[in-house]
Amino acid sequence: MVLNRPGEPLVATELPDPKPGPGEVRLEVLACAVCRTDLHVIDGELPEPKLPLILGHEIVGRVDAVGQGVDRFRPGARVGVPWLGGTCGRCRYCRRGQENLCDDAVFTGYTRDGGYAERCVADQRFCFPLPDRFDDATAAPLLCAGLIGWRTFTKAGDARRVGIYGFGAAAHIVAQVAVHLGREIYAFTRPGDDTAQAFARELGATWAGGADEDPPVTLDAALIFAPAGELVPRALSHVDKGGTVVCGGIHMSDIPAFPYHRLWEERTVTSVANLTRADGEAFLHAVTDVPLAIAVHRYPLGNASRAIAALRAGRLNGAAVLLTAAGSASSASGSGSAGVLST
């Protein structure tokens, strides 16, 4: 499914199978989750994408070919491919453990082709082996919604009372992890979205209400996954002294002016940019024993535009996941044992 130009619909296209270069693996794609970042690319809100472009950066696939020098994976291995597709390894950011800020990074489904396809290639160094307990469809959202949610959550430190604004794919995963770790979750949804609020409470939220409502307690931290800049001053007004507001999205509308007293008393506003391989390793280890119920809405690959429209309209509780023919066959076999809420 190819994006030829921002603002245009994706086009089903027959292309030659990609060939893995040195250090690369080729995957038979099984599943690829749809991320809000994909919407930002389609809408032209992220600059200079590779065009034409195959979107998708939450990829689950099986290695079916390897390039020269590949030593991490063999054909048949099931791996996940995230947003961060490669870095230079030499710049000051890479040298100090901040490869997510690398000036020469490449990004899956943005500056290199991604997983809205039957096959893709990826740098072996930036792929992750996946736990067997997650089937293909439920593993896919872990690779961005899960990873970015985790990095966002860790920036809140040891906060006990955590507000989450925008209860979508990332929020519904990280909320369960946080509850498992003994934190209190306060979920903020679109005003009047009773279904999303009930969903949040079902996953362990202490309280759930609209983004226009006040929580019953003062928060230690707030995580913002909705791309709405007006939520930043609102979240600051709910955070206690010394608290943190973390913006977890890659794109957000402008933050409106707000009075200084909302920031005073050593409150912090910070953002999350991409992820590191260490994030992936830490997150996949952290969820080993978490009884996750991952909500997935399955779509055939050819229905990618329908999945994108559902995400854009806010009709999904959880994640939309595209399945190839190979992925549908794998899903039908019933592999994986993680909890799943699916349609």
Q: How far apart are the first and last CA of the chain?
A: 22
Task: Choose the final residue of a domain: 271, 301, 326.
Answer: 271
Query: Which pLDDT score, from 0 to 100, does residue 343 have?
Result: 53
Same domain, 52 and 168: no
Collect all residues with Cβ–Cβ distance below 8 Å to 243 and sequence separation of at least 6: 159, 219, 220, 221, 222, 267, 268
Does residue 300 form part of some domain? yes
Query: Which pLDDT score, from 0 to 100, does residue 221 have?
Result: 98
In angstroms, rounded to a whole number, what is the distance separating the alpha carbons of residues 175 and 164?
Answer: 8
Residue labelled with tokens 């800049």: 229
Same domain, 52 and 126: yes
Tokens of 90: 């030499």
Same domain, 122 and 223: no
Same domain, 136 and 241: no
How buried is 8 (Cβ within 10 angstroms: 0-12 exposed, 13-18 middle, 19+ buried)?
exposed
In angstroms, rounded to a whole number, what is the distance separating the alpha carbons of residues 102 and 328?
Answer: 36
| Inter-CA distances, 280 with 128, 158, 221, 255, Å | 7, 20, 22, 29
Does residue 280 form part of some domain? no
Nearest in space to 146 (alpha carbons), one of 25, 296, 336 = 296
Same domain, 73 and 112: yes
Does residue 212 form part of some domain? yes
In angstroms, rounded to a whole number, what is the distance separating the alpha carbons of residues 339 and 18?
Answer: 34
Does residue 202 form part of some domain? yes
Helix locations, the chain, DSSP H: 36-42, 92-95, 136-139, 145-154, 169-180, 194-202, 231-238, 277-286, 304-312, 325-332
Does residue 314 form part of some domain? yes
Same domain, 120 and 164: no
Same domain, 252 and 128: no
CATH of the domain at 107: 3.90.180.10
How many distinct structural domains can be found in the chain? 2
Beta strand 293-300 with 161-165: parallel, antiparallel or unpaired? unpaired
Same domain, 138 and 172: no
Same domain, 21 and 136: yes
Centroid of chain to Cα 15: 27
Same domain, 14 and 133: yes
Does residue 276 form part of some domain? no
Query: Which pLDDT score, from 0 to 100, does residue 332 have?
Result: 56
Does residue 150 form part of some domain? no
Same domain, 21 and 109: yes
Expressed as residue numbers, the domain containing 63 is: 2-144+293-342
In angstroms, rounded to a whole number, what is the distance separating the alpha carbons of residues 328 and 300?
Answer: 8
Which residues lie across from 210 on neighbouring strands?
189
Query: Which pLDDT score, from 0 to 100, does residue 113 have?
Result: 98
Which helix (H) or strand (E) segment holds residue 122: the answer is strand 119-123
Nearest in space to 110 (alpha carbons), one of 59, 41, 203, 12 = 41
> Could you say which residues of the chain have pLDDT below 50?
334-337, 340
Does residue 282 form part of some domain? no
Tokens of 2: 């190819």
CATH of the domain at 196: 3.40.50.720
In angstroms, rounded to a whole number, what is the distance separating the alpha carbons of residues 289 and 239?
Answer: 30
pTM listed for this prediction: 0.90
Q: Under DSSP, is residue 53 helix (H, G, I), strand (E, B) or coil?
A: strand
pLDDT one-digit tens code per residue, 65-106: 999 999 999 999 999 999 999 999 999 999 999 999 999 999
Same domain, 7 and 120: yes
